[in-house]
């Protein structure tokens, strides 16, 4: 018999199920253990038990069998595959097997990190195919733009899949999907197989994959032969969500409304009637503080036993768990029986970052004539890790520190060294030091050698854990300290997910050769970079902190939801370029749809009485944070019911930055500025531009000498410059031959890319896309020049130009040196004659020449005295008016001014132009602005007046004021700047 | 303050200890044997021990470096147990007239307000037998058994009640009441066992 019910979650899903259970138990006379309840999550099962206990009227009783889907798997194996032996591989083991397949098929590219990355992507494809029970077919015409490796995989998909499966069988491995599939086949083939239970309740499932569908159909077959099967779907407001309708259709079932006499909750709220609040926070700390403040009011009035059903904090993003728990420390009583069901992020645990640095040192080793050599740069970084000094204090000893310094400083930073050289440099010390250093060599070098691999890695990690404990670094005795808890979580992660992989040597011997050692290191790195430990908690008492999916089928009176953001709710999965909609269609996989999350969210809202949802928001156009799409659905639903759902702001805003506000300029600042201006090396255009774009940034950069945080785009810019330099230098003083240049681009780009180690800055997919973009730009750019037939001669590449002018200051005259590095100096031949072209290469998308402004400013330069300092009330605004709000045109004049002051004859040129080359895939790669003779003379004559005015403003202006525009959030000094403005607008540390 | 996490994490770590895993595998194997009692005739102890242990190990995912070592230890212990004819005969008697064998049933104890999970409960028409399985005698906890007994007596007030301790090492079935009468010479916690009386 099969019964199918639709149970509105606002009836109280689990409570109503408890009532149905008691009714069935009485009517059907089953013994409790003959009944099996299966839920999608473990937590729903635990709550179900909790409710059964609550309703037991103070009597002891035997529970029915209550299982999560995972636990039902174990039962199903016992019941229906009792004699089949198998081993289930973890994802890491599956990765190793797939790597072996790719290696056999000669499909590895030989770069371990990239190969591991792509193996993960390939594994996802194979898993999806398996869940849908599909035999893969080769994609003969794989989409353009995919890396060659991915294309090759798609073209050989069936071969890969077949070999992967063969290896699985050879090793006695089965994936869970394969086991489910076998059970499904078993049940459909022999429907009379009697299970050890008489009644099965499948509760709260929604969408089914093909393999699961077969299994359910098998269970339906058992039902025809005596199994009492009850399927209960959770429904928002009693409606048949399209997802449920689809599942019912595929199972060929009709659902009826859950029996009214088993309804648990009589007081029903529609969404219109619910208390729902949507809050907007500036950052995660504000969001968690808001929730903690609310909890402070709630918790003292609630008994521990009441809490699990009354209140819940939902933290969908595991990264928010830590800030939340830290903030929750303000309510110590909350910790007495706190239950967390969410992953605890451990990537930044000090031991993890130390291990990652050791891996970096060994991954970058190379074999020289001296033997295995290590990069000095990575070693220096490792030495500066704070934990290293605490774990092995010997490295802090003065004599060792000094010798290490000598060892490092006597070599170039890009140099390599052998362990023997290091030992030699530190030799001859007293025995105690020698012993301690021997430990250091063992842990950081010797244990990682190839000959010790893979077991050596597991052993050295275990050794580090012991040393960490012995040194008393996690403070076990201090209960209030997170460090002990974090350490235990990290240890649990290593013991369960990392160490076994390296201790089981036979896994590696089937795969590894000497060279594959680096794959082992990369696999370890990959695991450590995603370090986390899942906390399970216990729901019978205390405050519940749950991940979003853990809330499924639960009912709470009050819910606080943090991270109500798009990309988190619904989650944005890591993009897999092999599972795009186009490829899914080709492979026969279902197209990803948001239907599942739509269903989850609607049932979630229906299950609570009061909800407080907080999202993070930034008003900047470029910000990544945006509220979840469900905010709009909630608002719409509320409005339909005649209620508004305004967004309330938690932001106690940091006052908007005003021009008049800023860091006061003092005499000491002026003195520092004078020193900078008088420096031998001179000042560049960036000195001027930085100040006039944002004086505060100028203050951080030039006066405080703080280094700007470098991002990957800066490195990409350096790559493009280097490639240009390499391509064009051979044509110095001769005509560029484009047909020579074009074929060189791919190999040259590869070489520069490798030297600059871009893989350290970007993940493999971004790296691939960025490289393709740059390659494509370079090819198109030079191809367009070739097509134009224009003759160009290289006059200079990365050439320095400089000059001097006098700044009247304090009754004296200061000589100021100004300089610039011009990217390209070109002689261009056109029908109008020879042209001198000064070109600057720009990788930023905002770089451009503002032609109208240039016309206006040039006219101004022609008017004698028009640019003299003191004529305008606000020089800052005036400069922006002349050159553009981002000083786009300043460089144009600055470089021309430097060039014109060089001892050089330009009389042979019909005109002089300044231009930008912009990295874009649009047709217009160059923007060029030309000057006539009179204009050039005016620049030479009057531009120093502009520079004098700008410098005087820098020296005399009252404040280093704060600038605010849309790019502010991307400034490398963003955090420093915010820090200066902490204390709600007070300028801490300035006055 | 972080005690709940610390407890949970310590438990997660202890589950990784070899001795713990060995206990679980043997537990699982014996329960499996009890479930299939009527189907299997024990003629070849080694073969049966191997089959049961292999089956228990199925759900331990790879990598599991201790698999071979633990399997061989467990097979040895189980084989030794299956050779203890007196224990098997006694077990057989207990199971033979069973109406129902409950493997790790979950009980709610109203008195303790917690969920309990005894190893095996054998239900007969008018009697109830509690079977507590331990790898080593030292693992036996009297308090634990007492809690099971109290809850079960409340659920089955009309049934006669018997408790047994089944140990692998040494392979023995201890009738807890008799052991108490003998002053529990053979049980390490005999003094505490007297509390059952």
Which of B9, B63, B111 is closest, CB to CB, to A504?
B63
Q: Which of residues 89-108 of B touch A (CB under 8 A)?
A: 100, 102, 105-108
Tell me the three state secondary structure of residue A797: strand
Tell me the three state secondary structure of residue A589: coil
For B68-127, the pLDDT digits (tens) are: 999 999 999 999 999 888 888 888 888 888 899 999 999 999 998 889 999 999 999 989
The closest of A872, A857, A862, A858 to A949, measured between CA atoms, is A872
Q: Is the model more confident about B193 or about A695?
A: A695
Is B142 in contact with B132 (CB distance < 8 Å)? no
For A884-937, the pLDDT digits (tens) are: 988 889 998 999 999 999 888 888 888 899 999 987 766 678 889 999 888 999
Token pair 């202890």: residue: B14
Closest-CA residue of chain A to B57 = A87
Mean pLDDT estimate for chain A: 87
For the question of whether the overall pTM of this predicted structure is more than 0.90, the answer is: no
For A484-504, the pLDDT digits (tens) are: 888 889 999 999 999 999 998
Contact with chain B for residue A321, Cβ under 8 A: no
- Contact assignment for A337 to B4 by CB distance below 8 Å: yes
Q: Which of B7, B8, B67 is the best residue to mutate to test the A interface, defined by the most A CB atoms within 10 Å of its own CB?
A: B8
Is A876 in contact with A953 (CB distance < 8 Å)? yes
Q: Does residue A837 register a pLDDT over 90?
A: yes
Lowest-confidence region among A95-109, A326-340, A440-454, A786-800: A326-340
pLDDT score, position A740? 92
- Contact assignment for A61 to B108 by CB distance below 8 Å: yes
Q: What share of chain A is helix, strand, coil (3-state, %, to 5)?
A: 50, 15, 30
Token pair listed for B29? 């194997």
Task: Give A-chain residues touching B61 at CB under 8 angstroms.
Answer: 87-90
Contact with chain B for residue A29, Cβ under 8 A: no
Q: Which of A60, A172, A334 is the best residue to mutate to test the B interface, defined by the most B CB atoms within 10 Å of its own CB?
A: A60
Rounded to a whole number of angstroms, the distance from the CA of A49 to the nearest CA of chain B is 9
Q: Quick one: pLDDT band at residue A624, thresholds 50, 70, 90?
A: low
For A433-478, the pLDDT digits (tens) are: 999 999 999 999 999 998 888 899 999 999 999 998 888 777 655 5
Contact with chain A for residue B2, Cβ under 8 A: yes
Task: Give the Cα separation of A86 and A172 in Å (integer).
Answer: 6
Exposed/middle/buried for B49, CB within 10 Å: 0-12, 13-18, 19+? buried
Q: Does residue B193 register a pLDDT over 50?
A: no
Interstrand relation of B120-123 and B127-136 (parallel, antiparallel or unpaired): antiparallel
pLDDT score, position A335? 77
Rounded to a whole number of angstroms, the distance from the CA of A88 to the nearest CA of chain B is 5
Is A235 in contact with A603 (CB distance < 8 Å)? yes
Q: Does residue A597 register a pLDDT over 70?
A: yes
Q: Quick one: pLDDT band at residue B63, thresholds 50, 70, 90?
A: very high
Contact with chain A for residue B6, Cβ under 8 A: yes
pLDDT score, position A169? 87
pLDDT over 70 for what percent of chain B?
85
Q: Is the model more confident about A69 or about A655?
A: A69
- Contact assignment for A77 to B6 by CB distance below 8 Å: no
Q: Is the model more confident about A205 or about A170?
A: A205
**Helix A176-189 vs helix A69-80: angle between axes, to the nearest 10 degrees?**
50
pLDDT score, position B4? 66
Q: Does residue A818 register a pLDDT over 90?
A: yes
Dihedral (CA of A195, A197, A201, A202) sign: negative
Task: Give A-chain residues touching B9 at CB under 8 angstroms.
Answer: 485, 488-489, 491-492, 533
Which residues fall within 8 angstroms of residue B97, CB to CB, at 6 or more apart? B124, B125
Closest-CA residue of chain A to B5 = A485
The closest of A6, A463, A540 to A259, measured between CA atoms, is A6
Contact with chain A for residue B61, Cβ under 8 A: yes
Interstrand relation of A608-616 and A366-368 (parallel, antiparallel or unpaired): unpaired
Q: Quick one: pLDDT band at residue A983, thresholds 50, 70, 90?
A: very low
Beta-bridge partner residues of A822? A799
Mean pLDDT, residues A39-43 taken together = 94
Q: Quick one: pLDDT band at residue A512, thresholds 50, 70, 90?
A: low
Mean pLDDT estimate for chain B: 83
Mean pLDDT, residues A268-296 taken together = 88
For A325-370, the pLDDT digits (tens) are: 888 988 888 877 788 899 989 999 999 999 999 999 999 999 999 9
Task: Give the Cα separation of A230 and A201 in Å (integer).
Answer: 5
For A242-253, the pLDDT digits (tens) are: 999 999 999 999
b/e per residue B134-170 (b: at least 16 CB within 10 A): bbebebbebeebebbbbbbebbbeebeebbbbbbbee
Q: Is the model more confident about A199 or about A507?
A: A199
Closest-CA residue of chain B to A488 = B9
pLDDT score, position A965? 59
Mean pLDDT, residues A395-410 taken together = 91
Q: Does residue A968 register a pLDDT over 70?
A: no
Lowest-confidence region among A39-53, A366-380, A705-719, B98-112: A705-719
Tell me the three state secondary structure of residue A775: helix
Q: Does residue A971 register a pLDDT over 90?
A: no
For A304-329, the pLDDT digits (tens) are: 778 888 999 999 999 899 899 888 98
């Amino acid at each position: 018999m099969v019964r199918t019910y639709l149970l509105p979650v606002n009836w109280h899903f689990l409570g109503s199920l408890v009532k149905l259970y008691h009714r069935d138990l009485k009517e059907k006379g089953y013994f409790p253990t003959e009944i099996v309840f299966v839920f999608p999550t473990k937590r729903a099962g635990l709550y179900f038990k909790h409710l059964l206990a609550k309703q037991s009227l103070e009597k002891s009783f035997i529970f029915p069998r209550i299982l999560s889907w995972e636990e039902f798997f174990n039962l199903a194996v016992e019941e229906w595959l009792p004699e089949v032996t198998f081993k289930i591989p973890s994802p890491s083991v599956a990765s190793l097997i797939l790597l072996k397949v790719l290696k056999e098929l000669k499909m590895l590219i030989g770069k371990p990190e990239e190969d591991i990355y792509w193996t993960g992507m390939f594994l996802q494809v194979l898993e999806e195919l398996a869940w849908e029970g599909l035999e893969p077919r080769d994609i003969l015409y794989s989409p353009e733009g995919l890396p060659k490796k991915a294309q090759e995989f798609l073209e050989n998909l069936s071969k890969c899949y077949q070999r992967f499966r063969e290896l699985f069988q050879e090793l006695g491995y089965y994936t869970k999907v394969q086991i489910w599939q076998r059970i499904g086949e078993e049940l459909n083939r022999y429907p009379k197989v009697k299970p050890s239970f008489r009644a099965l309740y499948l509760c709260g499932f929604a969408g089914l994959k093909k393999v699961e569908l077969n299994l359910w159909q098998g269970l339906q077959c058992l039902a025809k032969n005596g199994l009492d099967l009850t399927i209960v779907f959770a429904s928002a407001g009693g409606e048949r969500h399209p997802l449920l309708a689809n599942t019912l259709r595929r199972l060929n079932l009709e659902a009826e409304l859950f029996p009214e006499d088993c309804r648990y909750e009589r007081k029903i709220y529609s969404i219109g009637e619910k208390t729902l609040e949507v809050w907007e926070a500036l950052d995660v700390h504000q969001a968690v503080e808001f929730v903690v403040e609310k909890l402070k009011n709630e918790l003292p009035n609630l008994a521990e036993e009441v809490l699990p059903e009354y209140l819940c904090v939902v933290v969908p993003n595991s990264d928010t768990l830590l800030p939340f728990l830290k903030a929750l420390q303000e309510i110590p009583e909350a910790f007495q029986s706190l239950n967390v069901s969410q992953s605890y992020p451990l990537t930044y645990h000090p031991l993890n970052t130390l291990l990652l640095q050791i891996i970096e040192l060994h991954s970058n080793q190379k074999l020289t004539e001296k033997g295995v050599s290590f990069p000095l740069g990575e070693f220096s970084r490792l030495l500066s890790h704070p934990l290293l000094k605490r774990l092995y204090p010997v490295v802090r000893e003065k004599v060792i520190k000094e010798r290490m310094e000598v060892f490092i400083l006597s070599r170039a930073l890009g140099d390599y060294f052998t362990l023997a050289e290091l030992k030699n440099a530190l030799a001859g010390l007293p025995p105690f030091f020698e012993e301690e250093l021997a430990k250091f060599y063992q842990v950081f070098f010797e244990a990682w050698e190839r000959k010790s691999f893979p077991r050596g890695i597991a052993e050295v990690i275990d050794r580090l854990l012991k040393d960490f404990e012995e040194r008393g670094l996690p403070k076990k005795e201090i209960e209030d300290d997170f460090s002990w808890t974090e350490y235990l979580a990290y240890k649990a992660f290593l013991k369960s997910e990392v160490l076994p992989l390296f201790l089981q040597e036979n896994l590696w011997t089937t795969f590894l050769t000497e060279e594959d050692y680096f794959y082992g290191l990369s696999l370890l790195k990959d695991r450590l970079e995603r370090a986390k430990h899942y906390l399970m908690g216990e729901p019978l008492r205390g405050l519940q902190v749950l991940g979003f999916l853990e809330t499924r089928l639960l009912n709470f009176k009050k819910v606080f939801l943090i991270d109500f953001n798009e990309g988190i709710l619904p989650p944005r999965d890591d993009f897999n370029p092999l599972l795009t909609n186009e490829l899914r269609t080709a492979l026969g996989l279902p197209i990803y749809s948001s239907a599942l999350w739509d269903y989850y969210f609607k049932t979630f809202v229906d299950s609570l009485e009061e909800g407080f949802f907080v999202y993070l928001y930034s008003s900047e156009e470029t910000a990544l944070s945006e509220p979840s799409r469900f905010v709009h659905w909630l608002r719409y639903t509320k409005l339909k019911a005649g209620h508004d759902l305004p967004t309330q702001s938690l932001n106690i805003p940091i006052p908007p930055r005003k021009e008049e506000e800023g860091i006061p300029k003092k005499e000491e600042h002026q003195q520092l500025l004078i020193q900078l201006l008088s420096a031998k090396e001179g000042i560049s255009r960036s000195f001027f531009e930085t100040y006039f774009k944002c004086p505060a940034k100028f203050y951080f950069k030039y006066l405080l000498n703080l280094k700007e945080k470098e991002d990957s785009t800066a490195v990409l810019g350096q790559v493009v410059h280097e490639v240009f330099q390499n391509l064009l230098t051979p044509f110095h003083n001769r005509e560029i031959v484009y047909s020579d240049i074009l074929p060189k681009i791919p190999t040259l780009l590869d070489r520069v890319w490798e030297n600059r180690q871009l893989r350290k800055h970007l993940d493999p997919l971004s790296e691939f896309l960025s490289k393709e973009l740059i390659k494509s730009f370079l090819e198109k750019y030079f191809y367009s020049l070739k097509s134009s037939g224009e003759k160009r001669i290289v006059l200079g590449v990365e050439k320095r130009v400089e000059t001097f002018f006098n700044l009247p200051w304090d009754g004296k005259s200061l000589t100021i040196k100004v300089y610039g590095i011009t990217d390209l100096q070109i002689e261009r031949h056109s029908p109008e004659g020879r042209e001198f072209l000064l070109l600057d290469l720009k990788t930023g998308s905002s770089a451009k020449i503002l032609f109208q402004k240039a016309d206006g400013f040039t006219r101004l330069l022609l008017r004698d005295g028009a640019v003299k300092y003191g004529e305008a009330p606000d020089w800052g605004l005036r400069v922006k008016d002349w050159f553009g709000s981002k000083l786009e045109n300043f460089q144009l004049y600055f470089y021309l001014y430097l060039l014109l002051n060089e001892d050089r004859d330009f009389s042979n040129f019909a005109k002089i132009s300044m231009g930008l080359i912009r990295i874009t895939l649009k047709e217009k790669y160059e923007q060029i602005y030309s000057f006539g003779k009179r204009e050039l003379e005016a620049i030479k004559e009057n531009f120093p007046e502009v520079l004098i005015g700008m410098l005087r403003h820098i020296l005399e202006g009252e404040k280093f004021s704060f600038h605010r525009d849309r790019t502010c959030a991307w400034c490398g000094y963003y955090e420093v700047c915010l820090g200066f403005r902490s204390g709600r607008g007070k300028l801490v540390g300035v006055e | 303050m972080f005690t709940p996490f610390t407890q949970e994490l310590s438990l997660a770590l202890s589950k990784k200890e070899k001795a713990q895993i060995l206990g679980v595998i043997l537990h699982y194997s014996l329960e499996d044997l009890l479930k299939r009692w009527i189907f299997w005739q024990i003629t070849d102890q080694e073969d049966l021990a191997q089959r049961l242990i292999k089956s228990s190990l199925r759900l331990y995912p790879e990598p599991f470096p201790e698999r071979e070592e633990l399997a061989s230890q467990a097979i040895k212990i189980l084989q030794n147990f299956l050779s203890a004819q007196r224990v098997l005969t006694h077990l057989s008697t207990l199971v033979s007239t069973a109406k129902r064998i409950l493997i790790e049933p979950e009980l709610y104890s109203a008195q303790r307000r917690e969920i309990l999970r005894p190893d095996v409960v054998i239900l007969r028409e008018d009697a109830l037998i509690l079977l507590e399985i331990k790898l080593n005698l030292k693992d036996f906890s009297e308090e634990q058994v007492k809690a099971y007994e109290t809850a079960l007596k409340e659920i089955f007030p009309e049934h006669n009640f018997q408790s047994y301790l089944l140990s692998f090492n040494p392979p023995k079935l201890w009738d807890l009441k008799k052991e108490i009468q003998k002053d529990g010479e053979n049980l390490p916690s005999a003094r505490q066992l007297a509390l059952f009386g």
